Structure 1
C-alpha cells in the first residue's frame, strides 16, 4: 500500500499552451504535485505532476481532487470512470532539488514518463511520473 503526500494543489488558469491536452493559454486547470510513499517504509517512490483540464472533469471527480489527498487512480476506481492512457514522452533528467525527497545524490537521475488520460474520447489530464534511476539499478 502507498500513502500520498500532496504538497501542491493549485486551481487557476494555465500560463501556456499544452498541445498534448489541446489546452490553450488561459484555460482553467488543476495542477497537482504529489509524492507516493510506502505506507510502512515511508520511502518516497514516485513524484508526479498532473495537469487536469477543469472543464472536462465531472463535478464529483473535481471536488474529490480539490478537497482530499486521494490519489487520482483511486478516484477513478471509486467513481468507476473508464480511462485510456496514451504515453506522450519518456526520458531521463537530473534529480536536482528533488534529491532530498528521494534520499539520493543531487547529481543522480530521474526516469520519467508523461501520459495523457482520456475519458469519453476527450483528453482530461496529463500526468508526468518521476522515479529515481537508482531504484532500477542493481547494487
Structure 2
C-alpha cells in the first residue's frame, strides 16, 4: 500500500499531542510526530511491541516526521533512544529500523519508497525480528 494514498485531506497531521496522551512515557521531551493517519497507526503498533519488551529499556521516541508536505524539504526524520541491556537495545533498534523502512517514507535510504506495511503483518514481522536477534544472542 502507498502511504501517500492515505493522507487526511491530502496532508500529514501533527500527532504529537495525541501520542503524548496515549504513550507519554515513551516520548522524549520535545518529541514531534507528524504522519498521515495510517502511518500513525503503524507507529502505534510498533511502539506497543517495544513497550512489551519492558520498562527497563528506557526507550524514548525523539521524532517521527514525514516531511513530504514541507516546501523546501522531503524525506523523513526518525530518531529514538534506548538504554536497556545489549539484547534489548539490538531488539529495539531492529524493530525501529524495520518500522522506518515500512512507514511509507520517500527517501534514498528507504529500500521500497512509499511502501507502508499492513497492520495485520506487523506481529509477524516482529516475531521474525525477535527470532533473528534471539539467535544472535543464543537465546533461541
TM-score tier after normalising by the smaller chain length:
under 0.3
Please say which structure displays the higher CA radius of gyration.
1
* Higher percent of residues as helix: 2
More strand as a share of residues: 1
